[in-house]
Protein backbone atom coordinates (compact mmCIF):
# COMPACT_ATOMS: atom_id res chain seq x y z
CA UNK A 1 0.00 0.00 0.00
CA UNK A 2 1.40 3.40 -0.90
CA UNK A 3 1.65 6.11 1.67
CA UNK A 4 -0.85 8.27 -0.17
CA UNK A 5 -3.42 5.46 -0.29
CA UNK A 6 -2.96 4.81 3.43
CA UNK A 7 -3.38 8.50 4.15
CA UNK A 8 -6.55 8.58 2.11
CA UNK A 9 -7.92 5.55 3.94
CA UNK A 10 -7.02 6.95 7.31
CA UNK A 11 -8.73 10.26 6.63
CA UNK A 12 -11.75 8.46 5.20
CA UNK A 13 -12.06 6.46 8.42
CA UNK A 14 -11.71 9.63 10.47
CA UNK A 15 -14.37 11.34 8.36
CA UNK A 16 -16.80 8.49 8.85
CA UNK A 17 -16.30 8.57 12.62
CA UNK A 18 -16.97 12.30 12.61
CA UNK A 19 -19.95 11.75 10.34
CA UNK A 20 -21.35 9.35 12.92
CA UNK A 21 -21.79 12.23 15.31
CA UNK A 22 -18.47 12.65 17.14
CA UNK A 23 -17.44 16.15 18.08
CA UNK A 24 -15.16 17.98 15.74
CA UNK A 25 -11.62 17.89 17.17
CA UNK A 26 -11.64 21.66 17.72
CA UNK A 27 -14.01 21.10 20.65
CA UNK A 28 -13.46 19.24 23.89
CA UNK A 29 -16.22 16.94 25.16
CA UNK A 30 -19.50 18.84 25.30
CA UNK A 31 -20.79 19.98 28.69
CA UNK A 32 -24.33 19.08 27.60
CA UNK A 33 -24.94 16.11 25.31
CA UNK A 34 -28.67 15.84 24.62
CA UNK A 35 -30.61 13.31 22.58
CA UNK A 36 -33.25 14.44 20.09
CA UNK A 37 -35.57 11.65 18.89
CA UNK A 38 -38.18 11.63 16.13
CA UNK A 39 -40.23 9.16 14.11
CA UNK A 40 -39.35 10.14 10.53
CA UNK A 41 -36.75 8.70 8.12
CA UNK A 42 -33.32 10.35 7.96
CA UNK A 43 -34.15 11.57 4.43
CA UNK A 44 -37.20 13.61 5.53
CA UNK A 45 -36.61 17.41 5.79
CA UNK A 46 -37.26 17.14 9.53
CA UNK A 47 -33.96 15.30 9.91
CA UNK A 48 -32.01 17.28 7.32
CA UNK A 49 -32.93 20.49 9.18
CA UNK A 50 -32.31 18.89 12.58
CA UNK A 51 -28.76 17.87 11.60
CA UNK A 52 -28.10 21.40 10.33
CA UNK A 53 -29.56 22.80 13.56
CA UNK A 54 -27.37 20.54 15.73
CA UNK A 55 -24.27 21.70 13.82
CA UNK A 56 -25.23 25.36 14.26
CA UNK A 57 -25.80 24.86 18.00
CA UNK A 58 -22.47 23.08 18.44
CA UNK A 59 -20.75 25.90 16.60
CA UNK A 60 -22.41 28.84 18.34
CA UNK A 61 -22.02 27.30 21.81
CA UNK A 62 -18.35 26.58 20.94
CA UNK A 63 -18.85 22.89 21.53
CA UNK A 64 -20.65 23.20 24.87
CA UNK A 65 -23.98 21.82 23.62
CA UNK A 66 -24.10 18.72 21.44
CA UNK A 67 -27.47 17.54 20.16
CA UNK A 68 -27.50 13.99 18.83
CA UNK A 69 -30.24 13.31 16.30
CA UNK A 70 -31.96 9.90 16.40
CA UNK A 71 -34.38 9.55 13.46
CA UNK A 72 -37.01 6.97 12.56
CA UNK A 73 -37.92 5.61 16.01
CA UNK A 74 -34.34 4.42 16.68
CA UNK A 75 -34.99 5.08 20.37
CA UNK A 76 -38.47 3.53 20.36
CA UNK A 77 -42.03 4.12 19.17
CA UNK A 78 -43.72 7.46 19.82
CA UNK A 79 -45.47 6.01 22.85
CA UNK A 80 -42.12 4.80 24.29
CA UNK A 81 -40.24 8.00 23.53
CA UNK A 82 -42.96 10.18 25.08
CA UNK A 83 -42.38 8.39 28.38
CA UNK A 84 -38.58 8.63 27.95
CA UNK A 85 -39.00 12.36 27.37
CA UNK A 86 -41.01 12.70 30.57
CA UNK A 87 -38.48 10.74 32.62
CA UNK A 88 -35.48 12.52 31.09
CA UNK A 89 -34.02 9.51 29.23
CA UNK A 90 -34.47 11.58 26.06
CA UNK A 91 -34.06 15.37 26.22
CA UNK A 92 -35.82 16.45 23.00
CA UNK A 93 -38.63 14.91 20.96
CA UNK A 94 -40.88 16.07 18.13
CA UNK A 95 -44.41 14.73 18.47
CA UNK A 96 -47.74 15.36 16.76
CA UNK A 97 -50.06 17.41 18.97
CA UNK A 98 -52.64 14.68 18.47
CA UNK A 99 -50.44 11.93 19.89
CA UNK A 100 -49.31 14.30 22.64
CA UNK A 101 -53.00 14.61 23.53
CA UNK A 102 -52.77 11.25 25.31
CA UNK A 103 -50.92 13.35 27.94
CA UNK A 104 -52.22 16.86 27.14
CA UNK A 105 -55.83 16.42 25.92
CA UNK A 106 -56.17 20.00 24.64
CA UNK A 107 -53.23 19.56 22.24
CA UNK A 108 -55.46 17.62 19.83
CA UNK A 109 -57.38 20.76 18.86
CA UNK A 110 -55.09 21.49 15.91
CA UNK A 111 -56.15 18.19 14.32
CA UNK A 112 -59.91 18.74 14.08
CA UNK A 113 -60.98 17.32 10.69
CA UNK A 114 -61.01 19.84 7.82
CA UNK A 115 -60.39 22.76 10.21
CA UNK A 116 -57.62 24.46 8.21
CA UNK A 117 -58.23 25.32 4.55
CA UNK A 118 -54.57 26.03 3.72
CA UNK A 119 -51.04 26.57 5.08
CA UNK A 120 -51.54 30.33 5.44
CA UNK A 121 -54.30 29.74 7.99
CA UNK A 122 -52.24 27.03 9.72
CA UNK A 123 -49.21 29.24 10.40
CA UNK A 124 -51.29 32.26 11.34
CA UNK A 125 -53.10 30.19 13.97
CA UNK A 126 -50.13 28.17 15.23
CA UNK A 127 -47.79 31.17 15.46
CA UNK A 128 -50.67 33.12 17.02
CA UNK A 129 -53.41 32.65 19.59
CA UNK A 130 -54.13 28.95 19.00
CA UNK A 131 -50.47 27.94 19.25
CA UNK A 132 -50.00 29.95 22.44
CA UNK A 133 -53.10 28.30 23.90
CA UNK A 134 -51.77 24.79 23.20
CA UNK A 135 -48.23 25.57 24.40
CA UNK A 136 -49.60 26.83 27.73
CA UNK A 137 -51.27 23.46 28.27
CA UNK A 138 -48.13 21.56 27.30
CA UNK A 139 -46.17 23.58 29.87
CA UNK A 140 -48.75 22.78 32.56
CA UNK A 141 -48.08 19.10 31.88
CA UNK A 142 -44.38 19.63 32.66
CA UNK A 143 -42.88 19.67 29.16
CA UNK A 144 -41.24 22.63 27.42
CA UNK A 145 -42.50 23.31 23.87
CA UNK A 146 -40.37 25.44 21.54
CA UNK A 147 -42.24 28.36 20.06
CA UNK A 148 -42.38 27.22 16.42
CA UNK A 149 -44.28 24.06 15.64
CA UNK A 150 -42.68 21.97 12.84
CA UNK A 151 -44.71 20.74 9.87
CA UNK A 152 -45.97 17.28 9.06
CA UNK A 153 -48.53 18.44 6.52
CA UNK A 154 -52.03 17.88 5.17
CA UNK A 155 -52.89 14.20 5.27
CA UNK A 156 -54.01 11.92 2.42
CA UNK A 157 -55.46 8.40 2.53
CA UNK A 158 -53.60 5.48 0.92
CA UNK A 159 -54.94 1.95 0.47
CA UNK A 160 -53.86 -1.39 -0.95
CA UNK A 161 -57.37 -2.28 -2.08
CA UNK A 162 -59.37 0.56 -3.68
CA UNK A 163 -59.46 4.31 -4.21
CA UNK A 164 -61.46 6.27 -1.63
CA UNK A 165 -63.78 8.64 -3.53
CA UNK A 166 -66.52 9.45 -1.06
CA UNK A 167 -67.03 9.06 2.68
CA UNK A 168 -69.17 5.99 1.92
CA UNK A 169 -66.06 4.23 0.55
CA UNK A 170 -64.64 4.33 4.09
CA UNK A 171 -67.51 2.27 5.55
CA UNK A 172 -65.93 -0.48 7.70
CA UNK A 173 -62.57 0.23 6.04
CA UNK A 174 -59.65 -1.14 8.07
CA UNK A 175 -57.33 1.81 8.46
CA UNK A 176 -54.26 2.40 10.62
CA UNK A 177 -54.39 5.66 12.58
CA UNK A 178 -51.77 7.04 15.00
CA UNK A 179 -52.38 6.49 18.71
CA UNK A 180 -54.78 9.34 19.55
CA UNK A 181 -58.46 9.65 20.49
CA UNK A 182 -58.86 12.43 17.88
CA UNK A 183 -57.76 10.18 15.02
CA UNK A 184 -59.92 7.28 16.17
CA UNK A 185 -62.92 9.57 16.58
CA UNK A 186 -62.44 11.16 13.14
CA UNK A 187 -62.31 7.85 11.30
CA UNK A 188 -65.16 6.37 13.33
CA UNK A 189 -67.19 9.42 12.33
CA UNK A 190 -66.38 8.63 8.70
CA UNK A 191 -67.76 5.13 9.34
CA UNK A 192 -64.36 3.41 9.07
CA UNK A 193 -62.80 0.76 11.36
CA UNK A 194 -59.65 2.51 12.66
CA UNK A 195 -56.85 0.68 14.52
CA UNK A 196 -54.30 2.62 16.62
CA UNK A 197 -50.77 1.67 15.56
CA UNK A 198 -47.52 3.53 16.23
CA UNK A 199 -45.71 4.79 13.16
CA UNK A 200 -42.83 2.41 13.90
CA UNK A 201 -45.12 -0.54 13.14
CA UNK A 202 -47.12 1.00 10.30
CA UNK A 203 -45.11 -0.25 7.31
CA UNK A 204 -45.29 -3.85 8.48
CA UNK A 205 -48.98 -3.56 9.41
CA UNK A 206 -49.65 -2.49 5.81
CA UNK A 207 -47.34 -5.11 4.35
CA UNK A 208 -48.92 -7.97 6.29
CA UNK A 209 -52.41 -6.54 5.58
CA UNK A 210 -53.33 -6.20 9.24
CA UNK A 211 -54.86 -2.99 7.86
CA UNK A 212 -55.83 -2.02 4.30
CA UNK A 213 -54.79 1.58 4.46
CA UNK A 214 -53.33 4.50 6.36
CA UNK A 215 -53.24 8.27 6.07
CA UNK A 216 -50.21 10.59 5.99
CA UNK A 217 -48.79 13.58 4.13
CA UNK A 218 -47.04 12.78 0.83
CA UNK A 219 -43.60 13.61 2.28
CA UNK A 220 -44.05 10.77 4.79
CA UNK A 221 -45.53 8.37 2.22
CA UNK A 222 -42.45 8.96 0.06
CA UNK A 223 -39.63 9.01 2.61
CA UNK A 224 -40.99 6.04 4.60
CA UNK A 225 -41.58 4.18 1.29
CA UNK A 226 -45.21 3.42 2.12
CA UNK A 227 -45.84 3.39 -1.65
CA UNK A 228 -44.12 -0.03 -1.69
CA UNK A 229 -47.04 -1.54 0.23
CA UNK A 230 -49.93 0.68 -0.98
CA UNK A 231 -51.60 1.07 -4.42
CA UNK A 232 -53.98 4.05 -4.21
CA UNK A 233 -53.68 7.55 -2.85
CA UNK A 234 -56.80 9.67 -2.32
CA UNK A 235 -56.11 13.38 -1.87
CA UNK A 236 -58.53 14.07 0.96
CA UNK A 237 -56.48 16.72 2.83
CA UNK A 238 -58.69 15.73 5.76
CA UNK A 239 -56.41 17.11 8.47
CA UNK A 240 -53.33 19.24 8.97
CA UNK A 241 -50.75 17.82 11.38
CA UNK A 242 -47.67 19.36 13.00
CA UNK A 243 -44.88 18.39 15.39
CA UNK A 244 -44.32 20.23 18.66
CA UNK A 245 -40.58 20.39 19.40
CA UNK A 246 -40.56 19.34 23.07
CA UNK A 247 -37.89 19.41 25.76
CA UNK A 248 -37.71 17.60 29.08
CA UNK A 249 -38.10 20.41 31.60
CA UNK A 250 -35.26 19.46 33.96
CA UNK A 251 -32.83 19.05 31.07
CA UNK A 252 -33.95 22.38 29.64
CA UNK A 253 -33.49 24.18 32.95
CA UNK A 254 -30.05 22.63 33.45
CA UNK A 255 -28.85 24.71 30.49
CA UNK A 256 -27.61 28.17 31.54
CA UNK A 257 -29.89 30.94 30.19
CA UNK A 258 -27.44 32.05 27.48
CA UNK A 259 -27.17 28.51 26.09
CA UNK A 260 -30.93 28.04 26.29
CA UNK A 261 -31.40 31.15 24.15
CA UNK A 262 -28.96 29.88 21.51
CA UNK A 263 -30.54 26.43 21.42
CA UNK A 264 -34.11 27.79 21.17
CA UNK A 265 -33.09 30.23 18.44
CA UNK A 266 -31.63 27.48 16.25
CA UNK A 267 -34.45 25.00 16.86
CA UNK A 268 -37.06 27.62 15.92
CA UNK A 269 -35.08 28.74 12.86
CA UNK A 270 -34.70 25.13 11.72
CA UNK A 271 -38.45 24.69 12.19
CA UNK A 272 -39.17 27.62 9.88
CA UNK A 273 -36.88 26.14 7.20
CA UNK A 274 -38.39 22.69 7.72
CA UNK A 275 -41.89 24.16 7.16
CA UNK A 276 -40.83 25.58 3.81
CA UNK A 277 -39.15 22.30 2.76
CA UNK A 278 -42.13 20.13 3.75
CA UNK A 279 -44.75 22.36 2.13
CA UNK A 280 -42.73 22.35 -1.11
CA UNK A 281 -42.32 18.56 -0.98
CA UNK A 282 -45.98 17.92 -0.24
CA UNK A 283 -46.91 20.14 -3.20
CA UNK A 284 -44.51 18.46 -5.64
CA UNK A 285 -44.39 14.76 -4.74
CA UNK A 286 -47.52 13.58 -6.51
CA UNK A 287 -45.77 13.02 -9.83
CA UNK A 288 -42.82 11.26 -8.20
CA UNK A 289 -45.17 8.92 -6.32
CA UNK A 290 -47.32 8.30 -9.41
CA UNK A 291 -44.12 7.25 -11.23
CA UNK A 292 -43.56 4.74 -8.43
CA UNK A 293 -46.95 3.23 -9.14
CA UNK A 294 -49.31 4.95 -6.71
CA UNK A 295 -52.69 5.66 -8.39
CA UNK A 296 -54.02 9.09 -7.38
CA UNK A 297 -57.59 10.33 -7.26
CA UNK A 298 -59.32 13.52 -6.11
CA UNK A 299 -62.17 12.50 -3.81
CA UNK A 300 -65.44 14.35 -3.29
CA UNK A 301 -64.33 16.15 -0.15
CA UNK A 302 -67.80 17.58 0.63
CA UNK A 303 -69.10 14.07 1.33
CA UNK A 304 -66.51 13.73 4.13
CA UNK A 305 -67.40 17.05 5.73
CA UNK A 306 -71.10 16.24 5.48
CA UNK A 307 -70.50 12.89 7.18
CA UNK A 308 -68.66 14.63 10.07
CA UNK A 309 -71.59 17.00 10.60
CA UNK A 310 -74.08 14.14 10.51
CA UNK A 311 -72.05 12.17 13.06
CA UNK A 312 -71.90 15.26 15.33
CA UNK A 313 -68.08 15.10 15.23
CA UNK A 314 -67.71 18.87 15.66
CA UNK A 315 -70.32 19.09 18.42
CA UNK A 316 -68.68 16.27 20.33
CA UNK A 317 -65.20 17.81 20.21
CA UNK A 318 -66.45 21.29 21.00
CA UNK A 319 -67.84 19.76 24.18
CA UNK A 320 -64.50 18.09 25.00
CA UNK A 321 -62.28 21.09 24.35
CA UNK A 322 -64.70 23.55 25.92
CA UNK A 323 -66.23 26.78 24.59
CA UNK A 324 -63.17 28.92 25.21
CA UNK A 325 -60.73 26.72 23.28
CA UNK A 326 -63.27 26.14 20.52
CA UNK A 327 -63.75 29.90 20.15
CA UNK A 328 -59.98 30.31 19.69
CA UNK A 329 -60.04 27.66 16.95
CA UNK A 330 -63.04 29.25 15.23
CA UNK A 331 -61.46 32.70 15.41
CA UNK A 332 -58.63 31.21 13.34
CA UNK A 333 -60.57 29.10 10.85
CA UNK A 334 -64.19 30.28 10.86
CA UNK A 335 -67.34 28.51 12.08
CA UNK A 336 -67.02 24.73 12.07
CA UNK A 337 -70.36 23.45 13.29
O1 LIG B 1 -47.62 8.44 12.80
C2 LIG B 1 -47.82 9.09 11.76
O3 LIG B 1 -48.62 8.75 10.89
C4 LIG B 1 -47.06 10.38 11.56
C5 LIG B 1 -45.66 10.07 11.11
O6 LIG B 1 -47.69 11.16 10.59
C7 LIG B 1 -47.09 11.12 12.85
O8 LIG B 1 -46.11 11.29 13.51
C9 LIG B 1 -48.40 11.62 13.32
Q: Whose CA is nearest to atom 4 of ligand 1?
A: 199
Ligand 1 atom at shortest distance from the alpha carbon of 40: 5
> Is the distance from the beta carbon of residue 96 to the nearest atom of ligand 1 less than 6 Å?
yes
As its CATH architecture, domain 5-152+242-283 has 3-Layer(aba) Sandwich (3.40)
pLDDT at 140 over 80: yes
156-238+291-333: which CATH topology? Answer: D-Maltodextrin-Binding Protein; domain 2 (3.40.190)
Ligand 1 atom at shortest distance from the alpha carbon of 178: 1
Of residues 56 and 16, more confidently modeled: 56
- Average confidence (pLDDT) over 313-327: 98
pLDDT digits (tens, 9 = 90+) for 32-46: 999 999 999 999 999
> Is the distance from the beta carbon of residue 178 to the nearest atom of ligand 1 less than 6 Å?
yes
Of residues 68 and 12, more confidently modeled: 68
11-20, 33-42, 99-108: least confident range = 11-20
Cα 80 to averaged position of ligand 1 atoms, centre (Å): 14
Q: What is the pTM of this model?
A: 0.92
- Domain-wise residue ranges, the chain: 5-152+242-283, 156-238+291-333
Q: Whose CA is nearest to atom 8 of ligand 1?
A: 96
pLDDT digits (tens, 9 = 90+) for 76-96: 999 999 999 999 999 999 999
Helical ranges in 141-295 per DSSP H: 181-189, 202-207, 218-223, 249-254, 257-291
Please choose from 47, 72, 154, 178 the residue to mutate so as to test ligand 1's pocket, defined by most ligand atoms within 8 A of CB.
178
Judge if 5-152+242-283 and 156-238+291-333 fold alike in CATH terms.
yes
Give the per-residue pLDDT at 27: 79
Amino acid sequence: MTLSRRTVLRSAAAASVLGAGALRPAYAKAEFTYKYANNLPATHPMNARAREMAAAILEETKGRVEIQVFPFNQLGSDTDVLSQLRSGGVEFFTLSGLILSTLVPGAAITGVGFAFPDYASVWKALDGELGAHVRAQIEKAGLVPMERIWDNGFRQITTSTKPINTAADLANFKIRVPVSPMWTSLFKAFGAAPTSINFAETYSALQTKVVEGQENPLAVIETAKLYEVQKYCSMTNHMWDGYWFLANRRAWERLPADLRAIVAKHINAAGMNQRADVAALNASLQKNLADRGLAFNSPKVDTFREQLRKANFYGEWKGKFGDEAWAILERAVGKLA
